């Protein structure tokens, strides 16, 4: 009886749904419940865009990663991350010294496995990362980015897997980022790899968007796959991944050995995840990402970028309709524009050399398609505006394209006097760590445990500067207020108090006097706030207000859990100020 193990892609669940990911305190709440579910051998904890997103809303990603990985490390559940090879954790290429440091840092932070992919499937960009990861003590899982075209056949992927295994890959992942890989083809790929290399572990990752992924999971299971990436409510299905309950039942019926699911814990994890959505994450989730669509079969865009695509489309929609209205033309609905965009992606993709539609190249193809649609609607030609990153892809500066560029694109490059590049892409990006080390020394910034702050600065320079200055948090607070306003304004209802919006199922703990707040709960290391998620009992003392005449104790008004803290340790408060929010049990 073949055993199939499950990996919960908790990071990708959020990234495929919207823009932001849970905070550190929320990750600390959910981790023990995921463990209690008892059905996951692996959990995806970080990587890709998630650490950059932490910086965008003013949180240290290194603290978040360590907080989330530790509970899984302690019980023997493997943790894994997503990395973009030449691009590391960002959208553009990374110097070799920064790439190498990444694996040392992530291993020290408790990440066991790195899933290395190149958005062009160029093994030249993957092989150095395999070597860096293994040298740091991580498991190097090399990735095949799955798509569907005349070029991307089973034989194409089998050959790519052979090259990666020869280069030292410990495992192979089939990353079906748009979920458009055909089940039979995926089965053939897995069977061929397992036949030639029975010792190599294979993991399948398939988004549920166009609807193939459940059938694909059954096919790869029959072919010998070892791990399947799954999601769970309330973020399963839609643009995300199939739910673990469905996949477990399907495989059990087919005769596979699969782990049991602790349904009580599943429901608690489901509830907690929903509270994170209600807290603030839901304001950045487009409702359409909750639904599957067969339109993806044609355009092949990945589920992981649908959140950013809908945000881009929203801004473009306003600009296009403004132009149409000024010129007495019929305005377009968002759905009409979406179909036009999908059709344009399908049309231009082979002309651009069939890059697998995965980050960042899916964004580049989407950006070109968006510009083309806008210019075509204005009566102007295609390719009127192509951004620099897209040109770098076209010219080979990011790696070798799988297919042949259309003569039209080559002529456009020649017209602009652009030169094509055929060397090693890494050579275009010299080492930079010394520059960052020197600047941190000048500013008096701590390089962090295991050089993790140095790494974060070098990987996400602009976002890290904004994080350190506090600008990122200020911008996010404005963005959140705007998102809240837009959500309620479009529904034509009165906008409630913003603080209540942050914690919709909680009641405020109010100060009865004016003075200085002193918390009496357990404290997070280096923090001056009580632990989010702390269970409290009715009448239990929570804090003390230091007044001019003495101390006033504030107790809990119910049995429940602290879900938000409004006032920091030592902060002055007025009578009637909200100190914290408690969600009643």
Instruction: Delineate the domains of the chain, giving CATH numbers in brackets.
Output: 302-427 (no CATH), 500-584 (2.40.50.100)
Residues in the chain: 585
Neighbouring-strand partners of residue 519: 543
The first and second tokens of residue 391, run together, are 């040109």
The first and second tokens of residue 99, run together, are 């790439």
- The answer, yes or no, to whether the previous bond of 267 is cis (omega within 30 of 0) is no
Neighbouring-strand partners of residue 555: 541
In the numeric block, the tokens 């459940």 are attached to 214
Give CA–CA dist 194/52, Å, rounded. Answer: 36
In the numeric block, the tokens 């999908």 are attached to 342
Q: How, if at all, do strands 535-536 and 560-565 pair?
A: antiparallel
Give CA–CA dist 214/206, Å, rounded. Answer: 8
**Could you read off the pLDDT tens digit of each residue along the chain, which spans 585 residues?**
899 999 999 999 998 898 899 999 999 999 999 999 999 999 999 998 899 999 999 999 999 999 999 999 999 999 999 999 999 999 889 999 999 999 999 999 999 999 999 999 999 999 999 999 999 999 999 999 999 989 999 999 999 999 999 999 999 999 999 899 999 999 999 999 999 999 999 999 999 999 999 999 999 999 999 999 999 999 999 999 999 999 999 999 999 999 999 999 999 999 999 999 999 999 888 887 888 888 788 777 775 555 556 666 666 677 778 778 888 888 888 888 888 888 898 899 999 999 988 878 888 888 898 889 888 888 889 998 888 889 999 999 999 999 999 999 999 999 999 999 999 999 999 999 999 999 999 999 999 999 999 999 999 999 999 999 999 998 888 788 878 877 766 555 555 454 445 555 678 888 888 888 887 544 333 344 555 567 788 888 888 887 777 778 888 888 888 877 888 777 888 888 888 888 887
pLDDT of res. 113: 98
Neighbours of 372 (CB within 10 A): 23
Give CA–CA dist 585/583, Å, rounded. Answer: 7
Neighbouring-strand partners of residue 564: 581
Q: Could you write out the three-class secondary structure of 412-453? A: HHHHCCCCCCCCCHHHHCCCCHHHHHHHHHHHCCCCCHHHHH
497's CB contacts (< 8 A; 6+ apart) are none
In the numeric block, the tokens 């304004």 are attached to 489
Give CA–CA dist 583/181, Å, rounded. Answer: 44
């Amino acid at each position: 009886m073949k055993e199939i193990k499950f990996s919960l892609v908790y990071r990708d669940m959020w990234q495929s749904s919207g823009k932001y990911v849970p905070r550190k305190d929320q990750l600390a709440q959910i981790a023990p419940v995921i463990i209690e579910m008892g059905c996951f051998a692996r959990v995806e904890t970080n990587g890709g865009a998630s650490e950059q997103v932490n910086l965008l809303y003013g949180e240290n990603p290194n603290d978040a990663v360590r907080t989330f990985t530790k509970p899984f490390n302690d019980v023997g559940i493997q943790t894994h991350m997503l990395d973009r090879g030449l691009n590391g954790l960002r959208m553009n290429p990374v110097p070799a010294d920064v790439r190498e440091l990444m694996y040392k840092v992530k291993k020290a932070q408790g990440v066991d496995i790195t899933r290395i992919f190149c958005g062009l499937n160029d093994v030249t960009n993957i092989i150095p990362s395999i070597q860096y990861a293994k040298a740091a003590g991580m498991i190097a899982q090399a990735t095949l980015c799955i798509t569907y075209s005349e070029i991307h056949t089973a034989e194409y992927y089998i050959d790519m897997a052979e090259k990666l295994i020869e280069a030292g890959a410990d495992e192979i992942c089939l990353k079906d980022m748009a979920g458009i890989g055909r089940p039979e083809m995926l089965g053939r790929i897995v069977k061929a790899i397992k036949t030639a290399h029975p010792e190599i572990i294979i993991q399948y990752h398939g988004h549920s968007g166009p609807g193939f992924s459940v059938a694909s999971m059954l096919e790869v299971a029959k072919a010998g796959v070892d791990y399947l990436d799954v999601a769970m409510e309330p973020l399963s299905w839609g643009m995300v991944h199939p739910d673990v309950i469905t996949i477990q039942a399907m495989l059990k019926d087919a005769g596979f050995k699969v782990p049991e699911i602790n349904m009580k814990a599943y429901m608690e994890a489901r509830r907690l995840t929903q509270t994170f959505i209600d807290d603030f994450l839901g304001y950045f989730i487009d409702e359409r990402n909750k639904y599957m669509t067969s339109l993806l079969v044609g355009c092949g865009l990945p589920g992981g970028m649908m959140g950013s695509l809908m945000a881009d489309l929203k801004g473009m929609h306003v600009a296009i309709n403004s132009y149409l209205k000024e010129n007495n033309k019929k305005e377009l609905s968002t759905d009409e524009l979406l179909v036009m965009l999908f059709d344009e992606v399908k049309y231009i993709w082979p002309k651009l050399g069939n890059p697998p539609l995965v980050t960042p190249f899916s964004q580049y193809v989407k950006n070109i398609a968006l510009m083309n649609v806008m210019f075509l609607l204005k009566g102007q030609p295609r390719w009127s505006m192509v951004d620099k990153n897209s040109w770098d892809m076209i010219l080979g500066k990011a790696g070798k394209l799988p297919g042949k560029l259309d003569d039209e694109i080559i002529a456009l490059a020649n017209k602009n006097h652009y030169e094509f590049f055929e060397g090693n892409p890494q050579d275009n990006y010299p080492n930079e760590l010394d520059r960052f080390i020197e600047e941190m020394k000048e500013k008096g910034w701590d390089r962090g445990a295991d050089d993790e702050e140095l790494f974060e600065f070098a990987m996400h320079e602009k976002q890290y500067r904004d994080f350190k200055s506090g600008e990122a948090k200020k911008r996010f607070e404005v963005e959140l207020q705007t998102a809240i306003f837009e959500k309620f304004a479009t529904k034509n209802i009165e906008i409630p108090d913003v603080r209540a919006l942050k914690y919709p199922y909680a009641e405020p703990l109010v100060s009865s006097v004016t003075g200085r707040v002193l918390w009496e709960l357990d404290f997070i290391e280096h923090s001056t706030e009580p632990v989010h998620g702390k269970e409290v009992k009715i009448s239990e003392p929570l804090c003390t207000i230091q007044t001019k005449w003495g101390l006033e104790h504030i107790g809990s008004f119910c049995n429940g859990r602290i879900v938000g803290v409004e006032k920091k340790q030592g902060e002055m408060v007025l009578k009637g100020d909200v100190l914290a929010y408690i969600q009643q049990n």
